[in-house]
């Protein structure tokens, strides 16, 4: 498994390494600009930054997942080597699992950059004590909750050679999550796409969506591994 992970990391395109950094910088830039133009004079003051992040964090992570999983799977689809890859003397499910793990690792790097960048910006622009608990918890909780979405996009990207299907589904799910999470129909909140925006510490009952993302992510990952293992390439 370690060798597979090393191989996947060596195969990563430059885009996959640049994307987490670019996404984190873009998110922090949007949050800063949005706060300055709309919330700078609000009663919440500097702490309104956390609510601004709530609007954009889940969408950014989900869009990053969409692009990362698609690019990582496109190499095998373009060279048509899935059948040969599945004949090497390793468990087929480990090949699938290695792509999922590397995607999560890249996403975790993006989350760490967001946390570090938020702390730096707070120290530079605000005089109030930094709410480290929320600054750390909000991105980490969103990361845990987005794992169900990672499992969905990994399966779509690997199963369909036409990556426009996976990217289209991921982009649509990312945008729809912002509206589904605010729906007045509670049943819609149980869809995997709503877990990331509902996992913020700023709303009550957020912990159950964090655990839902973890649990559903593992179940969907197991289902994806099983399907990949049985698929005749």
Tens-digit pLDDT profile for residues 21-67:
999 999 999 888 877 776 666 666 667 777 778 778 999 999 999 99
Residues constituting the chain? 233
- Evaluate if pTM is beyond 0.85: yes
Residue where the block lists tokens 């605010």: 182
Q: What is the mean pLDDT of residues 178-193?
A: 86
Residue 147 reports pLDDT greater than 90:
yes
Q: Which long-range contacts (CB under 8 A, 24 or more apart) does 205-208 make?
A: 206/141
**Cβ of 51: how many Cβ atoms within 10 Å?**
14
CA distances to 72, 84, 148 from 152, in Å: 14, 24, 6
Residue 148 reports pLDDT greater than 90:
yes
The helix/strand/coil state of 97 is helix
Q: Would you state the pLDDT for residue 101?
A: 95
Averaged pLDDT score across all residues of the chain: 88
CA atoms within 13 A on the CB side of 218: 6
Secondary structure letter of residue 32 according to DSSP: H
């Amino acid at each position: 498994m370690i060798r597979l992970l090393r191989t996947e990391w060596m195969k990563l395109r430059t885009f996959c390494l640049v994307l987490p950094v670019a996404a984190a910088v873009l998110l922090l830039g949007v949050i800063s600009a949005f706060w300055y133009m709309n919330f700078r004079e609000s009663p919440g003051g500097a702490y309104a930054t956390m609510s601004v992040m709530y609007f954009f964090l889940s969408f950014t992570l989900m869009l990053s997942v969409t692009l990362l999983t698609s690019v990582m799977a496109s190499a095998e689809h373009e060279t048509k080597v899935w059948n040969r890859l599945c004949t090497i003397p390793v468990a087929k499910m480990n090949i699938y699992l290695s792509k999922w793990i590397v995607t999560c690792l890249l996403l975790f790097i993006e989350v760490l950059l967001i946390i570090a960048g938020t702390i730096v910006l707070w120290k530079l622009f605000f005089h109030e004590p930094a709410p480290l608990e929320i600054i750390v918890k909000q991105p980490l909780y969103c990361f845990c909750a987005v794992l169900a979405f990672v499992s969905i996009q990994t399966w779509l990207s690997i199963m369909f050679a036409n990556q426009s299907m996976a990217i289209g589904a991921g982009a649509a799910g990312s945008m729809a999550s912002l509206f589904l999470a605010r729906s007045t129909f509670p049943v819609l909140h149980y869809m995997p796409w709503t877990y990331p925006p509902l996992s913020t510490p700023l709303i009550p009952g957020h912990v159950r969506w964090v655990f839902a993302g973890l649990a559903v992510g593992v179940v969907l990952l197991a289902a994806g591994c099983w399907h990949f293992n049985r698929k005749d390439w």
